[in-house]
Amino acid sequence: MRRNVLRHNLLTALLLGPATAWLVVFLVLPFVAIAVFSVGERAPEGGYQAAFTLTQYANLPARATAFWNTMVLAPAGALACLLVAYPVAYYLALRAPERWRLILLALVVIPFWTSLLMRTYAWMYVLGGRGIPALLAYVGFDDVRLINTPGAVLLGIVYGYLPLMILPIYVSLERLDRRLLEASADLGATPISTFLGVTLRLSLPGVMTGFSLVMILLLGEYLIPTLLGGGKVFFIGNALVDLFLQSRNWPFGSAIAITLVLVSVVVLLVANRISTRLSGARRVDLI
């Protein structure tokens, strides 16, 4: 009996070992290093100099605009993603013919196999002067500018993160018990109130998963605003890149990174809370 328990523990340790080691080396240790840097000072030529001070944290308001831009962009981008993704997921899960479903799903996922950088560069050419504006000039609209506009950034974000939003919503809709929809119709609900009262409600966990996934990634986004926004819109991700790669102020960069991680955790917790409440309170079991 005792030996069994021991063997069981050993097995657990063996199974969890690699993942734990991985996380310790590539997540926990760097995080500790960043935390240590964040209470240090910038060396005169840049970099890190050992110290114990909270000045870096006191200096956070110097990047208030960047934080603010991020706090607006992340939910707005996630919302735009959601508005585009929901109809697609709905069609895939409830309307698409069975034999096409797998192919359509694959089409959603396949672009994800190419690096986001490549796909964003492709958009630079599509939106740039030799792309759509050249076509527009051909039909008489001269000097239209699409690249480096907020619209271009939004487009890039929706395009880049769409699969991450579609998939969780699809999964929650796909598991939806169709008999609930019939019941709702039998009881006299219009299609719209069935959608709002049953379908949408039951897919909310998927919506929340997709929403928080996209939003967390957007909190650290810097590539799309740089490439499609012309580096004019400054997010916290851009602030971090500049602090490490331009002004070489590692301690201040670290303090911002720590703050960003904390904010992300809070966002995740709140999203989780909302989604449990929404789905928990409305759980309907037929059996």
Partner 1 sequence: MSKSYRDGLPINPEKFVDHLMRLKRGSIGRREFLGLTGLGVATAVMARELGIMPSPAFAQEGLGDRMSIATWPNYHDPATFENFKAETGVAVEVNVFGSNEEMLAKLQAGASGWSLFVPTNYTISTYKKLDIIETLDMAKLANFDGSQQDPRFTGEGTIDGATYAVPKNWGTTGFAVNTKKLTKPITSWKEFWDTAMADGDGRTMVHDYQLTTIGNALKYYGFSFNSLKQDELAKAEELLLKVKPHLFAVSSDYQPSMRAGDAWMTMCWTNDGAQLHRDIPEIAYVLGKEGGEIWTDFYAIPKDAPNKPAGYALLNYLMDPKVAVKEHLANGAPSTDARVNALLPKEVLDNPILYPAAELLTPLEFGAAATLTDPARAELMARFKSA
Q: Does 63 bind partner 1 (CB under 8 A)?
A: yes
Q: Which residues ranging from 120 to 139 are in contact with partner 1 (CB under 8 A)? A: 124, 128-130, 133
State the maximum Cα–Cα separation within the chain, in Å, rounded to a whole number.
84
Q: Give 32's contacts (C-beta < 8 A, 6+ positions apart).
A: none
- Please report how close the Cβ of residue 123 comes to partner 1 at its closest, in angstroms: 13
Applying CB under 8 A, the span of 12-20, 75-83, 140-148, 184-192 interacting with partner 1 comes to 140-148
Q: What secondary structure letter does DSSP report for 49?
A: B
Q: Does 25 bind partner 1 (CB under 8 A)?
A: no
Q: Per-residue x/- mask for partner 1, residues 211 to 240, rule CB under 8 A? A: ---------------x---xxx-x---xx-
Q: Does 56 bind partner 1 (CB under 8 A)?
A: no
For 142, the 3-state DSSP assignment is coil
Q: For tokens 């400054």, name the residue.
A: 234
Q: What angle do CA 179, 181, 182 make, to 5 degrees?
A: 65
142 and 102 in contact (C-beta within 8 Å)?
no
Nearer to partner 1, 46 or 75 (CB): 46
> How far apart (Å, rounded) are the C-alpha atoms in residues 54 and 51?
10
Q: Does 145 bind partner 1 (CB under 8 A)?
A: yes
Quote the tokens at residue 163.
Answer: 């699969």
Applying CB under 8 A, the span of 98-106, 142-150, 179-187, 214-222 interacting with partner 1 comes to 142-150
Shortest CA distance to 278 belongs to which of 190, 172, 180?
Answer: 172
Nearer to partner 1, 127 or 214 (CB): 127
Q: What secondary structure letter does DSSP report for 110?
A: G
Nearer to partner 1, 101 or 248 (CB): 248
Using CA atoms, how far residue 100 sits from 94, 96, 104, 163, 170, in Å, is 12, 7, 6, 18, 15
Q: Does 66 bind partner 1 (CB under 8 A)?
A: yes
- Please report how close the Cβ of residue 24 comes to partner 1 at its closest, in angstroms: 22
> How far apart (Å, rounded) are the C-alpha atoms in residues 213 and 262?
16
> How far apart (Å, rounded) are the C-alpha atoms in residues 105 and 114?
16
- Please report how close the Cβ of residue 139 comes to partner 1 at its closest, in angstroms: 17
Given candidates 12, 65, 114, 193, which one binds partner 1 under the rule CB under 8 A? Answer: 65
Q: Which residues ranging from 171 to 200 are in contact with partner 1 (CB under 8 A)? A: none
Shortest CA distance to 208 belongs to which of 162, 176, 165, 155?
Answer: 165
Q: Does 53 bind partner 1 (CB under 8 A)?
A: no
Q: Per-residue x/- mask for partner 1, residues 26 to 45, rule CB under 8 A? A: ----------------x-xx
Q: For tokens 């359509």, name the residue.
A: 104
Applying CB under 8 A, the span of 60-68, 160-168, 194-202, 263-271 interacting with partner 1 comes to 60-68
For 41, the 3-state DSSP assignment is strand
Q: Which residues make up the interface to partner 1 (CB under 8 A)?
A: 42, 44-47, 62-63, 65-66, 69, 124, 128-130, 133, 145, 147-148, 226, 230-232, 234, 238-239, 242-249
